Amino acid sequence: MDGVKAEDFFAYGLDKLDKTINKLGSNVRAVNVNTIPGLNTLGISMARIDFGRRGLNLSHTHPRTTEILTHARRRALCLVDFQFNRGHTRVVAIIALSSQNASTITIANAVFGSKTPIYDEVLAKAFRVDQKTIDRLQA
């Protein structure tokens, strides 16, 4: 227990609104074993997402992790793999994760930014769209 201090068990700032002035209109603040060393070996972490008007948290997955999300302010549309604030006010979401250091894979990066490109024909069939739509998505 040498070197353990009270700060290893606390996170500060989750009660404060974050800036959402960016392309997505949202900001994710992760609280995990890197910010709270006391979480080590507990298998848990959390995050806070601030959504500005029409803010978006991109489609994503958390490999080997379960996610529970709740909205702390107002209402937002929450689908399985992404969150979008349809409203005209700010929204805050709190997320609990079953991993002490959960990873995130953004679907758009994995599909359209893949180092080994996925053939356009495969993308068009997988998403049931035409080539013109794939061209626009990749632009």
pLDDT at residue 20 is higher than 50: yes
- The whole-angstrom separation of Cα 32 and Cα 44 is 7
- Kindly indicate the confidence band of residue 73, based on its pLDDT and cuts at 50, 70 and 90: low
pLDDT of residue 77: 45
More confident residue, 95 or 40: 40
* Max Cα-Cα span within the chain: 61
Contact assessment for residue 86 and residue 54, using Cβ atoms and an 8 Å cutoff:
yes
> In this structure, what token pair is assigned to residue 105?
């894979």
| Confidence band of 130 (pLDDT split at 50, 70, 90) | very high
- All domains of the chain, ordered by start, with CATH? 6-103 (2.60.120.10), 107-139 (no CATH)
Annotated binding site for oxalate: 57, 62, 67
Quote the pLDDT of residue 131.
93
Alpha helices in 39-119 (DSSP H): 107-112
Q: Which pLDDT value is given to residue 76? A: 47
Calpha distance 63→124 (Å, rounded): 25
Q: Which residues are annotated as a binding site?
A: 57, 60, 62, 67
Structure confidence by residue, pLDDT tens digits, 31-68:
999 999 999 999 999 999 999 988 888 888 888 888 87
Report the binding-site residues for Mn(2+).
60, 62, 67
- Mean pLDDT computed over every residue of the chain: 83
